[in-house]
Each structure stands twice: as structure tokens, then as C-alpha cells.
Structure 1
């Protein structure tokens, strides 16, 4: 009788500063598990933020429940429609002024995952609340190489006044490890790639990268010996899975190399692009999605956040024939031409989300795929960019949560239901239950029928 390999989930392929984590193999069973019992893949969570609200008439499905038609903005999600839920009616009350005056954009980002009223200050005395991703990271972070992964596509600033007296830290961060501790995000795909697959201390990793670059080889060249030894021990199905995985890693590495060789300039943004960051915004977003997929696939982390753009972003979108700034357009005052441009921007963002979800769905995980074992929240902290309102937020929940989320539906919840009630329910499914988060009033019913 052939028993599965007794390898640890921490097993990695190594060579010259490289530590390449492995995907989930049927042949790999934790030592403590019985040979006849297949291990259960872990749950993952990701939270994706988009700025300036959306054009709700082209976002909201006309019918509730199953069988709804995807409106214009959500149309790119057709390949994964059965794997997601559109939720309408959720509110972030603490994103409202509540006596603090202007600053809706800064509040919309800081409240997105915290549900806490930010202190209005542009000094060092910032204060919000712990975000849901970091609550989960406290519970599961010790099980993985990285407790969480914070990504973004605009660098932002951590100090200064960015919105009517609110610190830039509020506008450029959605992840907070504590009430006064916003977490910085990485915007360079190369740095994320090196972090995921580097091995050793920072100085060591830098030296080894210089040596690898001088040799002009792929990271896979340095772990080939380990890979060949592992291939010989795996079953046929897992050998194929390893081949696919290594091919996928090389493809991402190749795309990063291409962006690094291209002129780093884009008319879509008004700040200098550091080396390694693609000039094409769509390519940048897709590479960051690839980083999250690789991180989940190798169990490097189970929790990630990604800001498609900072709160109040005025990025232009010439690639989709929208040369206007996003923030400026969001103040549409009912202008039909501006509405048409806004919905194109909204659809572009959703198309990048669809890319991420399809990559998750195409990545095997246990007896299913990564999307089966994930819960992905996508949305904005504002509903309409012109009204700056915080009720009836545009929210999508994708992934099946290991079978605990009934997808393929449009779920309407009572008006003023706290967004944090959704987070409470997700934390329960993640195995990180808490008594409250932000302004939660309980759990969100209806996620599973």
C-alpha cells in the first residue's frame, strides 16, 4: 500500500537565497495526520478597496436571490457569477462626519475594515481601530510565514494633510494592526515577489538577489535540484501539479522582468513610478493579484488586503478612453456624460477583480480550488462619489468559504446594517470569532441558506 509522503506544509524548495513554498499536494500530509485522512485546506481571506464609490444604477442587480442578471459594471464577473454574492444595504456609519465635518474620502478608507470613527487630525495623534484582517491575522498569522500581506497600487503618504484636516495615513491605509497603527502597503510587485520567495535576513536576501541577477537566471534555476528530488517522490497527479505551479511562478517572474525593462512612465498617474512598478495600471493590478494567488497557493499567508487606489484618487484612465481624473468625475452633479465615464472606470476595476477570482478558481487546492476555500470582499467605503454617502455600500463577497457561503445570489439586507456584521460572520468562518469589531451589532444572516 502506498502511503502519502510525511512532509510538512512548511517544506520548501531552496537554493541561493530562495525559499519556494509548495502548493497543497495530496501526497503531502502532516505527520500527525492519519495516512487515510486527507487534510482540509485552510481558509483564506482578502479585502479589496476601490475609491470614490460607484455608479450604483449600473452596479445593483434588479432582482434579489438566485438567477439575477449582472448589470453593466459587474458584467466582467460572468465567468465567476456562481462563485460570488452581491450584497446591498450595508452601511459604515463611522464613515459619516458625525460632527467632524468634511473629510469623507479619508474616512471611507480608514473605516473600510475597522468600522471605527477616525480621529480628525493631520498630526501624529491618529486613531482608528483594529481592522478585520488584522483580527484574523492575530488568530492565524502564526501558522504561516507571513501573518498578512498588505498590497496597493498607489504609494500614498503616511503623514501630512490629505483630506480636509485628516492625515494622509487615513487615505492610504485600510489595514490597522491597532487603533494608532496603520500598516504600510507594498506597491512594487518585484519586492512582493522577492519577499514571498526570498530566504534569510534582509541583507542576505539583497546580496543573494544581486548574485542571481548577475547570473541572469530565473529563481527556478536555483531550486531545480530540490524540485527534481521532490518530483521523484510525488504521485503522478501531484507531479503535474508541481509542473503547473513552477510554470506559473516563472510566468509571473517573466512578466515582472518585462515591466522592469520597459520605460517607467504612464500618463494615467501624476507621480513618479519607481523601478519595477508597471506603467500600465491594469498590468500592475493583475501582477498584484498574482502575488495574492501565489501567497495563498503556497500558504505563505492566509490574509491579504489590496487597495486598487488610495481614497480620493484622481488617477486618469486613458487606456479605457477616460482621460479625466477619477475623483473629479465622481463629483458628477448628475451629469450623464460623467456618469458614463464613471461606470467605465468601475467596470475596469471589476474586470481586474474578475481576473483575480478566475486565477483563484483555476488554482487547485485540496479536492477543489483556492476560490472554494477563500472569502474575498470587494467594495468601497462610499456609495455615490458625489453624495459622499456611506449607506447602501457597493459590496461583493466572492468565494465559498470552504462550503460555508452560499453564492450565486443577490442578497439584500436591512438598511443601516453595519458592514462590520459581515466581518463578524467571516471571522466566525475563518475560526477567529470575536465579540465585536468596530460598530458591529451582531452577525450577518443569510450568507448560508
Structure 2
């Protein structure tokens, strides 16, 4: 019998056997072994730090249930999802030297810094390899002021595929829409998509030819540049093969794209695009950088006139400005949850197989040593994680231990993530995953 699943398999086969993309719950996903689920993960990184007082309910000091607790005002929008929430306090990241930001070190669990290239792959990229493969294994989006998102529509500060291999985040929703949905668009968007595609094809050809004449060492470095255009062009071609499917998930383009009143208009539509990439099955790993991993950021659409570095010098607890920012983040998390809950998957919904990791790229505050790195988990990753609870760590285990735990939950054998024995002897009192988090 011809089903939606077999039809998409035929389309995918035409695009190349390597894709192998059946359709489950009306989405694009890679084939998975029996009795497994197409898991996905989302990282939400807010800059300027995450003060524990803004997420730990008053009166709670020891590990236990959140059932009878009232969430603090900054994360109050998550109250209805408290049973799916796991608040973690007491991890550290002193070895990442976060200060204003740990940059790549926040998701890499290694020393970072402004202008310092990544020394290894970050956890989001490693998970994207472990999870079922998709058309776009890993999507990064970054939110900032209109000026910064316009002048620097792509920026790499948080994610990396390896040493010296940064992954760029997308900050201009018009460009990202063209990349994801240009093949199904009409009018100016379609024309711009085709024009950009032609230019990228020409640049790839010219770059490849130029690289052949370079010395070996320079040629290897230059090949990274060529590979970038090959990736862009390859993704465009793969998305073109499933354009009919994508029409069901593409967000509506409105004035917020072309004529935003505030930067939060772009933040909102970037989130819509990220969610659509998840629900359509284009990707199963999404990284969101609010503030783009740096010391900037603006939220004038929330009535906040202050922006950038000054926000980091403000105390977060009981601060009306940070309450607005954190509640805005929380509403974004709720939107992700509600969107994934609306899509059936297996015997439940997409959210049943998803984990959202919310934290900051510089621990608990802007100027920090990284002694405490609060984290919130939302969802249970197909039953892998405990929910509805608070866990207090003793302060002797690093964020690397959390990342090891995530990899274990994704089926990867890992005892230490990006931390050798010598470094672990100094910064990690344990070994393996955080058993307190696992169900």
C-alpha cells in the first residue's frame, strides 16, 4: 500500500540513498532501530549569567520534589509545566574561565574566551551526531539587537564541530527563511533564494579551483572554506527534494521579518523558524543563543531601554528588568513545549522524546569564576531524566558531567566529556554521568 511513509522514502531515495528519510508523525526523520524513538534536544543559552535565586523556589535547599513549591517570578510562566521541570544547582565551570562569557567553553566544557577558537567539539554538535540523522543535523539561531543581527547576520561563539571548527548561528530571519524554505516561497523571497543559490554555487566552484593552486598546508585550511559552501549548497538541494512536505511547516512571513518594530520581533520569528525546523524534521538539534554568547543583547520590545554590557552589571534577583527578560525566555520555552506537544509521535507527542536544556554561557553572573552553573532541564528525553524535582550538587562536579549524562541518555558510551584524566583530577570529584538526574 502506498503510504505517506513510502512516498517520502521514494523522494529521499531520489535525493541520494544516504538520506534514507522516512516520514513519521508527518515529519522528516531518519530511520531508527526498533523500540527506539527519534529523540531531539534543544539548548537555550541566555547571556549575562543565570542567578540561582531566579530559578530555585524559596525555602528549597536540598534535593527533592517541586510539587509543593511555587516557582520564582522570573520563571513563573513554567509553573504549569513544573512536573516536567528539573532544576539543577551546584555544577561548576571554573575551568572554562567564563568571566563575561565562556564562549565555546560553555557548551564545550573547556577554557574559552573572547576571540579564542574552540578547542574541541561542543556537546550540541556531539549529540547531533548521536541522534537520528536529519537533513540539517544541527541548527543554531542567535538573538541580539537589531543593529548586531543586521550587521553580523551570522556569528560563531557557542557551537563547534571540532578544534578550530566553529558553527555559525543565524540571526537574520529573512536569510534563515530563504535557506530553509526558499524553495517553496513565491515572489521576492523565491527570487532572492534562487539568486543566492546561484551565487553560492559559483563561489563553491571558484573556491575549489583556487584551492588547488595553494601549498598543502594552506590548501587544507582553505578547504574548510570550500566545505562550508558545499554544505550550504548540499542542504539547499536536499531541502528542494522535500519541498511539498515543507509547505506544511513553513511559518507565515509577515512584517516582523521585513519591518521589525523591535528586535524582539526578530527574536520571535527566529524562534518560530527554529520550532518549524524541529516539527518538520529538518533538524533534531537546536541551539538558541539569546545574546549570541557575548556581552551584548537588547529587549526594547519588552520595554527595556538598557542593553548590552550594562545589563550584566545589574543584580538579577528581584530586578524588574531581569524578571522581564527571564519571563520572556520562559514564555519561549513554553511555546516550544506547546508546539512539540501538538505533533503526535509514537504513542505520545514529540515533546515526550525531547529535552530542553536552559542555562547561561557564563554560569551564574556576568563577572563570574564559574563556581556555580545553574541549569534547568525541561522534558525527559523519552523517560531518561527525572522531572518535577530540584537537585543540589555538591559543587565538585563540572558542567562536563552534565554533558556526559546527556550523551549517555542518547546512547553514547562516555565517562568524561572533553576532560582528560589530568584535568578531571583537579576539577571533577566523580566519573561518569550524574546519576541524580537519570530516571
Normalization by structure 2: what TM-score?
Answer: 0.70
Equivalent residue for 1:382, pick from 352, 358, 362: 362
Question: What is the correspondence of 1:305-316 to structure 2 with a 5 Å cutoff?
Answer: 305-316=287-298
Distance in 2, matches of 1:53 and 1:31, equals 39
Equivalent residue for 1:43, pick from 14, 39, 42: 39
Give the secondary structure class of the aligned counterpart of 1:393.
coil
Give the secondary structure class of the aligned counterpart of 1:396.
strand
Distance in 1, matches of 2:379 and 2:293, equals 26
The alpha-carbon distance between structure 1 residues 432 and 11, as it changes in their structure 2 partners (threshold 3 A), is: farther
Deviation per CA, 1:401-432: give whole Å up to 9, x if none. 11212212122222132111111111122123
User: 1:6: how far off?
Assistant: 5.5
User: 1:115: how far off?
Assistant: 0.4
Structure having the larger proportion of residues in helix: 2
RMSD (Å), alpha carbons: 4.0
1:186 equivalent in structure 2? 170
1:383 touches 1:393 (CA, 8 Å); kept in 2?
yes
2:57 equivalent in structure 1? 61
2:183 touches 2:193 (CA, 8 Å); kept in 1?
no
Distance in 1, matches of 2:130 and 2:317, equals 47
1:144 equivalent in structure 2? 134
Question: What is the correspondence of 1:17-28 to structure 2 with a 5 Å cutoff?
Answer: 24-25=24-25
2:92 equivalent in structure 1? 91
User: 1:83: how far off?
Assistant: 2.0
User: Are 2:279 and 1:297 equivalent residues in the alignment?
Assistant: yes
Higher mean C-alpha deviation, range 309-318 or range 353-362: 309-318
Distance in 1, matches of 2:404 and 2:123, equals 8
- Unpaired runs of 5+ residues, structure 1, are 14-20, 97-102, 158-168, 212-222, 228-241, 263-277
Distance in 1, matches of 2:54 and 2:28, equals 46
2:74 equivalent in structure 1? 73
Higher mean C-alpha deviation, range 81-90 or range 350-359: 350-359
The alpha-carbon distance between structure 1 residues 383 and 175, as it changes in their structure 2 partners (threshold 3 A), is: closer
2:256 equivalent in structure 1? 259
Distance in 2, matches of 1:146 and 1:28, equals 11
The alpha-carbon distance between structure 1 residues 318 and 196, as it changes in their structure 2 partners (threshold 3 A), is: closer
1:42 touches 1:373 (CA, 8 Å); kept in 2?
yes
1:114 equivalent in structure 2? 108
- Unpaired runs of 5+ residues, structure 2, are 13-20, 149-153, 196-239, 420-427
1:6 touches 1:31 (CA, 8 Å); kept in 2?
no
Give the secondary structure class of the aligned counterpart of 2:170.
coil
The alpha-carbon distance between structure 1 residues 10 and 424, as it changes in their structure 2 partners (threshold 3 A), is: farther
Question: What is the correspondence of 1:259-338 to structure 2 with a 5 Å cutoff?
Answer: 259-262=256-259, 278-332=260-314
1:24 touches 1:365 (CA, 8 Å); kept in 2?
yes
Give the secondary structure class of the aligned counterpart of 1:414.
coil
Normalization by structure 1: what TM-score?
Answer: 0.69
1:91 touches 1:393 (CA, 8 Å); kept in 2?
yes
1:22 touches 1:298 (CA, 8 Å); kept in 2?
no
User: Are 2:426 and 1:421 equivalent residues in the alignment?
Assistant: no
User: Are 2:334 and 1:357 equivalent residues in the alignment?
Assistant: no
Distance in 2, matches of 1:329 and 1:30, equals 42
User: Are 2:84 and 1:104 equivalent residues in the alignment?
Assistant: no
2:437 equivalent in structure 1? 447
1:176 equivalent in structure 2? 160
User: Are 2:123 and 1:126 equivalent residues in the alignment?
Assistant: no
